[in-house]
Amino acid sequence: MLTYIEPLYRPPSEAGSLILQVTIGCSYNRCSFCSMYRGKRYEERSWDEIRAEIDYASQEYPNTRRVFLADGDALNIKTEYMLNILNHLYRSFPKLERVSCYAMPKNLLQKSKEELVALRDAGLKLLYIGIESGSDTVLRKVTKGATSKGIIDGSLKAKSAGIQLSCMLILGLGGRRYSREHALESARVASMIAPEYLAALTLLLDDVVRDEFMSKFGEPFEPLSDIEVLDELKMLVEHIEPSSNSKIIFRANHASNPYPIKAVLPDDRADVVALIDDLKSRSHMLRPSHLRRF
Ligand code: SF4
């Protein structure tokens, strides 16, 4: 049977996927805003466990087309081990079309381009990367353990290996003081990476990490109001210019956002900006804060 060590997280777009937990927790686990894996110690599951779960799932769910590998940064697994997992998955599920997982920039930097190509060829087709911010100041203050250069280098290496990217940013992460820098630098990094998908979430601090977040921030953190979040989102959207004339499927429709927005950038930029301006004058349209979750 499939054994999950809770809590279990997956991106919204993997709602219909088979979730296979190949690692437990996050190998880093120190981003000050993130409470997802605080109760777990990072470990990799054994080949015997993973193979048994794949064999079981292939009998129970033989029509599986998509698999998401949990937990927080499954790409931390050594390349040879990941290739074994991918090969066994595609052997076991004849209709399998896509395997995806979360990845940290350091996972990508630690692997060579050749390793990433091998993973892509074995069927790892999509990576979810938490950029969070393009601002090195904000990244440092939230102890992301990554720089904008590392995020760009790692992401472009994955793209050049043929792996699709879905990147995430967090609105409000720099608070009021760094809002402008956060928006502009995030737009710069997103433009350079030009991922296939880009999602903007809105910061909501869990009680588990609130004190730690405030203390690591190193100065008083002033959270953004809903209107300021919309201003930040507008600045972000106005400045995203995907490299190589590519298009980005942009989503700010996560349960943490004040209003669900979907667009293709840069094509829909003017419409999104107009919508945001309209929303600012009709705040009753915004999702009430008690209905939002991170
Ligand atoms: S944001 Fe990602 S890398 Fe940071 S602690 Fe959470 S799961 Fe780990």
Tens digit of each residue's pLDDT (9 = 90 or more) over 38-82:
999 999 999 999 999 999 999 999 999 999 999 999 999 999 999
pLDDT of residue 273: 96
pLDDT at 264 over 80: yes
CA 27 / ligand 1 centre spacing (Å): 8
Residue in the structure block whose two tokens are 């050049």? 160
User: Residue 104: what residue type?
Assistant: M
The Cβ of residue 247 has, within 10 Å, a number of other Cβ atoms equal to: 13
Q: What is the pTM of this model?
A: 0.96
237-259: average pLDDT: 91
Average pLDDT over every residue of 261-271: 96
Q: Give yes or no for residue 292 having a pLDDT over 80.
A: no
Given a cut of 80, whether residue 6 has pLDDT beyond it is yes
With a cut of 90, say whether residue 176 has pLDDT above it: yes
Nearest-angstrom CA–CA distance, 100 and 18 = 11
Nearest-angstrom CA–CA distance, 198 and 247: 10
| Domain 12-282 top-level CATH class | alpha beta
Residue 294 has pLDDT above 80, yes or no: no
Q: How many angstroms separate the CA atoms of 109 and 112, rounded?
A: 7
pLDDT at 291: 77
Q: Which of 41, 104, 256 to mutate to test the pocket of ligand 1 (most atoms within 8 A of CB)?
A: 104
**Minimum CA distance residue for ligand 1 atom 4:** 31
CA of 19 to the centre of ligand 1 (A): 18
Spacing of C-alpha 35 from chain mean position: 14
Handedness of CA 20, 26, 32, 35 (dihedral sign): positive
User: Can you tell me the mean pLDDT for 131-149?
Assistant: 98
Q: In this predicted structure, what is the pLDDT of residue 254?
A: 81
Phi-psi sector, 218: left (phi>0), alpha (psi -120 to 50), beta: left
Average pLDDT, the chain: 95
